[in-house]
Amino acid sequence: MGSGIYSIGVSALNNAQLGLATTGHNIANANTDGYNRQRIVQSTNIPTLTGSGYLGTGAYVSTIERIYSGFLARQVTTAQTTLSALDAYAAAIGELNTLLSDRNAGLESALEGFFAGVNQVAANPTSLTTRQTMVSGAQSLVARFQTLNDQLNEQYKNVNSQIQGYVGTINSFGQQIAKINKQIVDAEAISGQPPNDLYDQRDQMIAELNKLIGTQTSINTNGSVNVFFGNGQPLVVGVAATTLVAMPASGDPTRLTVGIVNVGGTQELPESLLTGGALSGVLQYRSETLDAASNSLGRIAVSMAITFNAQHALGQDLLGRIDGDTGFVADFFNLGTPHVVANSNNPPGAATVTASFLPPSYNGEDSTFYTNLTTSDYRLDYDGTTLTLTRLSDKVSWSGATIAALNTAIDASPQGSQGFSIAAGGAMLAGSSYLIQPTRNVASTIAVNPTIAADVRQIAVATPIIASAGTANTGTATISPGSVMTGYTPPAAGAPVTLAYANGDLTGFSSYPVTVTVNGVDTTYAAGPVPYTNGATYSFAGMNFTISGTPRNGDTFEIARNSNGVSDNRNALLLAKMQTGKTMAGHTATFSTAYSQLVSDAGNKGAEIQTVQTAQQTVLDSAVSARNSISGVNLDEEAVNLIQYQQSYQAAARMLEIASRLFDSILAIGA
């Protein structure tokens, strides 16, 4: 009897000791990241059959159980990986918004400064000082474009650096998880008991991994875990870890992407597979916001240069020279060309593809040049039969059997010109692909024409023609000074074009067709008499003028070369008008509104991310609270457990004391 009580007491004492140790372990790890509280699981020993029935023989601790909910843990992990992606996105876009919205560092003030200089030249066209001020303003604007572009490029470098860092850390976590898997497999094989602390360490590693990349897991029968990402790409399988690498993208080697090392080599992964975590956040920021911002800035720079150059080319400089004259400088700004990148997987010997900006379009109603450039990148693919150009922002595509046919198809499509044309050197090979970035990084190439910067007299401020009414006219009709369009044919020096009015018609247009515009409606006449309409605009040979009033038979109007136009500011006024003209996006936006839209888009996206980020933080906090209510260490509860196990220990010790006395009594009887 005494030995039975003694063995029961020993089992009770052992159980109490394990309970105290487990409770102490919980208390010690109350603030350990990833720790799940533990408890002992007691089971009854096999009873002994006696004449009075089965007699209990005490209890034993069958296992030490980890209080863990896989469902709640997955909720926390899912919420955390989403929040980490938002955190990375928010941090990056915050820097972008600071850059773009800073008036001193942004583009708006530089645009205003440049056009203030243009207006000064318009007010005083003969002044070399105001012309130099205009050039200085242009150089400041160019420097601002280049600085902004450099800062955006710095963000691209930062994203590349972050990708490298994240990939290295992901590999490290993968190797550590595989190592812990091995330890768990060995531990369970030896003892048959769960190594709870190793489980916690592994779960914490997986939780930290999910801050970098979203993963899914599966448990093997030996206790190891498999970790997958994307649509099932393995990162850890049992005790083996896969290696990821940061590698140049095949479509654009300047940007790093993620590849996975397989037996056959390294496979580039589509960025769409990399969901969740900080890695996904920076990749999304680059593709959604940074690319758009860089393209938008480039579009403004290209549109500024192309449209300003087009209007400048229609002017006359202080030396009396016009487009076509020796020494005349048509382009006020110099500019690079669209960027084309051949895919690194193209067949050997594939053609070299280039792109060029198209001349700007012209809107006659408000005399404004404008571009049709978008903020999208494009991809050109050739399957051996058909060339396909895809606008990547919305997947609109155009096709043609040849480059020439493709260019024609683009211009003739409902979407219209995209602002650039494509050319190819060499034979197109099946399977070839090219990334076309019309405006990316072009802001770094814009510059003031050094010839004009060295001699400000070459700024074309005047208009090449001057129209006037005959001095002997007897009617009241007046004629505007006139303007010119691209491709104009000016009168020869000393040989003006003279128009005569007689019986309701104007003659003298020579063999040129004439377009008469009345209230926005154009009517074109072949060479010959043209009906006169009060207030109509007449256009021929690229020259335009308006005649108003009542002419009389014999009245004449002369269009001549502007040979003494040093004080003429008409072209300068048109250049200044470009500040508020709809020069971009198919004649729908000004330079300022386009930049404001760039700032607004980035700001709105930042606000959107911040709102979602706040909501996601609430989701995570709720998930963590739910998990901790089950798995977290409650110190008050553990304090109660300490008292409980202390009392159990004391009671078990008392039982051993009683058993010892009974045994001593039995020995005393025998003596």
CA distance 272 to 506: 67
Write the CB contacts of 249 (distance below 8 Å, at least 6 apart in sequence). 255, 256, 257, 268
Residue 72: Cβ within 10 Å count:
18
- Could you tell me the two tokens for 514? 């004439």
CA distance 344 to 381: 13
Question: Are 439 and 298 spatial neighbours (Cβ–Cβ below 8 Å)?
Answer: yes
pLDDT at 4: 77
Residue 239: Cβ within 10 Å count:
18
Residue among 200, 202, 83, 85 nearest 621 (CA)? 83
Handedness of CA 425, 431, 432, 433 (dihedral sign): positive
Going from N- to C-terminal start, the domains of the chain cover: 2-67+632-670, 465-561
CA distance 20 to 535: 103
Reduce the DSSP state of residue 343 to 3 states and report it.
coil
pLDDT at 671: 61
Question: Are 45 and 11 spatial neighbours (Cβ–Cβ below 8 Å)?
Answer: yes
| DSSP annotation of 286 | I
Residue 221: Cβ within 10 Å count:
5
pLDDT at 493: 83
Handedness of CA 442, 444, 450, 453 (dihedral sign): positive
CA distance 530 to 621: 80
CA distance 175 to 153: 33
Q: What does R_g of the chain's alpha carbons equal in angstroms?
A: 41
CA distance 635 to 592: 61
Amino acid at 661: R
- Could you tell me the two tokens for 115? 């056009």
CA 548 to chain centre: 53
CA distance 500 to 486: 26
Question: Are 477 and 555 spatial neighbours (Cβ–Cβ below 8 Å)?
Answer: yes
| DSSP annotation of 644 | H
Question: Are 451 and 317 spatial neighbours (Cβ–Cβ below 8 Å)?
Answer: no
Q: What are the contacts of 237-245 at 24+ separation with CB within 8 A?
A: 238/178, 238/181, 238/185, 239/178, 239/179, 239/181, 239/182, 239/185, 240/178, 241/171, 241/174, 241/175, 241/177, 241/178, 242/174, 243/171, 243/174, 244/167, 244/170, 244/171, 244/174, 245/167
Residue among 312, 583, 291, 582 nearest 438 (CA)? 291
CA distance 577 to 118: 9
Q: What angle do CA 660, 662, 667 make, to 5 degrees?
A: 95
Ramachandran angles phi, psi of 229, nearest 5°: -140, 170
CA distance 61 to 20: 12
Reduce the DSSP state of residue 110 to 3 states and report it.
helix
Over the chain (671 residues), the average pLDDT of each successive run of 10 is 74 90 92 92 89 86 91 94 96 92 86 96 96 97 96 96 97 97 94 92 95 95 94 93 95 94 90 93 96 96 97 96 94 96 94 96 88 96 96 96 96 94 94 96 96 97 96 95 92 91 92 91 88 94 94 96 92 96 94 94 94 96 93 91 90 84 76 61
Question: Are 41 and 65 spatial neighbours (Cβ–Cβ below 8 Å)?
Answer: yes
Residue among 423, 460, 263 nearest 338 (CA)? 423
pLDDT at 346: 94
pLDDT at 670: 65
How deeply is 46 buried, as exposed, middle or buried, from its count of CB atoms within 10 A (0-12, 13-18, 19+)?
exposed
CA distance 253 to 343: 9
pLDDT tens, residue by residue, 137-152: 999 999 999 999 999 9
CA distance 546 to 499: 13
Pairing of strands 368-370, 361-363: antiparallel
| DSSP annotation of 46 | P
pLDDT at 286: 96
Question: Are 103 and 428 spatial neighbours (Cβ–Cβ below 8 Å)?
Answer: no
| DSSP annotation of 456 | G
Ramachandran angles phi, psi of 618, nearest 5°: -65, -40
- Could you tell me the two tokens for 105? 């560092």
CA distance 67 to 38: 6
Residue among 285, 287, 288, 304 nearest 107 (CA)? 304
Handedness of CA 316, 321, 325, 331 (dihedral sign): negative
pLDDT at 3: 57
pLDDT at 657: 81
How deeply is 381 buried, as exposed, middle or buried, from its count of CB atoms within 10 A (0-12, 13-18, 19+)?
middle
Q: Which residue has the tokens 């000082």?
A: 129
Ramachandran angles phi, psi of 584, nearest 5°: -135, 165
Reduce the DSSP state of residue 423 to 3 states and report it.
strand
Question: Are 384 and 339 spatial neighbours (Cβ–Cβ below 8 Å)?
Answer: no
CA distance 641 to 635: 10
* Residue 372 parent element (H or E): none
Reduce the DSSP state of residue 557 to 3 states and report it.
strand
Residue among 221, 222, 183, 190 nearest 205 (CA)? 183
